[in-house]
Chain A
Amino acid sequence: MTSVMIDTGNYIAAKASVMARPDVVAAYPITPQTTLVEGIANYLASGEFKGEYICVESEHSAMAACIGASSTGVRTFTGTSSHGLLLMHEMLHWAALARLPIIMCNINRVIGPGWNIWPDENDSISQRDTGWIQFYCSSNQEIFDTVIQAFKLGEHEDVSLPVMISYNAFILSHTSMPVFVPDQKEIDDFLPKRIPKWKLEVENPITFGNIILPHEYEKVRKEMQKAQQNAKKLIPEIANEWKKKFGRHHGDLFEYYKCDDADYILLSMGAIGAESKVAIDNLKKNGKKVGLARVRTFRPFPEEELLKLSKKADLIVIDRNISIGYEGALFNEVKGALYNKSDSKVFGFIAGLGGKDVTFGDIEKMCNKAMEGKVKDHQVWYGLEEV
Chain B
Amino acid sequence: MAIKDLPREECYIPGSAACPGCPATMAMRIVFKAIGKNMVMIVPACCTAVIESLHPKTSFDIPTMNIAFEAAAAGASGVEAGFRKQGKTDTTVVAWAGDGGTYDIGIQALSGALERQTNFIYICYNNQIYSNTGIQRSGATPYAAWTTTTVSGKTEFRKEMGEIIMSHHIPYAAQACASYPEDLYNKVKKAKSIKGPKYIEIMAPCPPGWRFGMERTVEMGTMAVETGAWALYEYENEKMTFNGKSKLILEGKIKRKPVEDWIKYQGRFRHLFIPKKDVERIKAIEKHIDLIWERYRSCYL
Contacts and interface: CB of A to CB of B under 8 A. Distances in A.
A58 B109 contact: yes
A61 B82 contact: no
A26 interface: yes
Interface string A75-117: 0100000000000001100100000000000000000000000
Contact of A26 (B58, B61, B78): B78
B39 A202 contact: yes
Nearest to A55: B116
A200 B65 contact: yes
Interface in B32-47: 37-40, 42
A251 B49 CA distance: 44
A141 B124 CA distance: 48
Contact of A206 (B58, B70, B116): B58
Contacts of B38: 202
Given A61-B71, A65-B81, A211 B54 contact: yes
Interface residues of B, number: 46
Contacts of A26: 74, 77-78, 81
A39 interface: no
Interface stretch (A66-74, A162-170, A323-331): A66-74
Nearest to A68: B78
A213 interface: yes
Nearest to A61: B74
B58 A207 contact: yes
Contacts of B42: 68
B90 to A, nearest CB: 9
Contacts of A58: 108-109, 112
B60 interface: yes
Contacts of A76: 78, 82
Q: Which bracket fits the contact residues of A?
A: 35 or more
Given A200-B40, A202-B40, A210-B53, A61 B77 contact: yes
Interface string A193-210: 000000011101111111
B82 A210 contact: no
B111 A207 contact: no
A52 interface: yes
B86 interface: yes
Contacts of A279: none
B82 A64 contact: no
A213 B71 contact: no
Given A90-B68, A210-B55, A57 B78 contact: no
B52 interface: yes
Given A24-B78, A65-B81, A72-B86, A91 B58 contact: no
Nearest to B59: A207
B67 interface: yes
B91 A202 contact: yes
Interface string A24-66: 1010000000000000000000000001101111101110111
Nearest first, the 6 A-B pairs at minimum CB distance are: A68-B78, A72-B82, A57-B112, A209-B66, A61-B74, A65-B78
Interface of B: 37-40, 42, 49-50, 52-56, 58, 60-68, 70-71, 73-86, 88, 91, 108-109, 111-112, 115-116
20 contacts: A23-B86, A24-B85, A26-B77, A51-B85, A54-B78, A56-B116, A57-B111, A60-B109, A64-B77, A65-B81, A68-B78, A68-B80, A73-B82, A76-B82, A200-B40, A200-B63, A200-B79, A205-B61, A206-B64, A211-B54
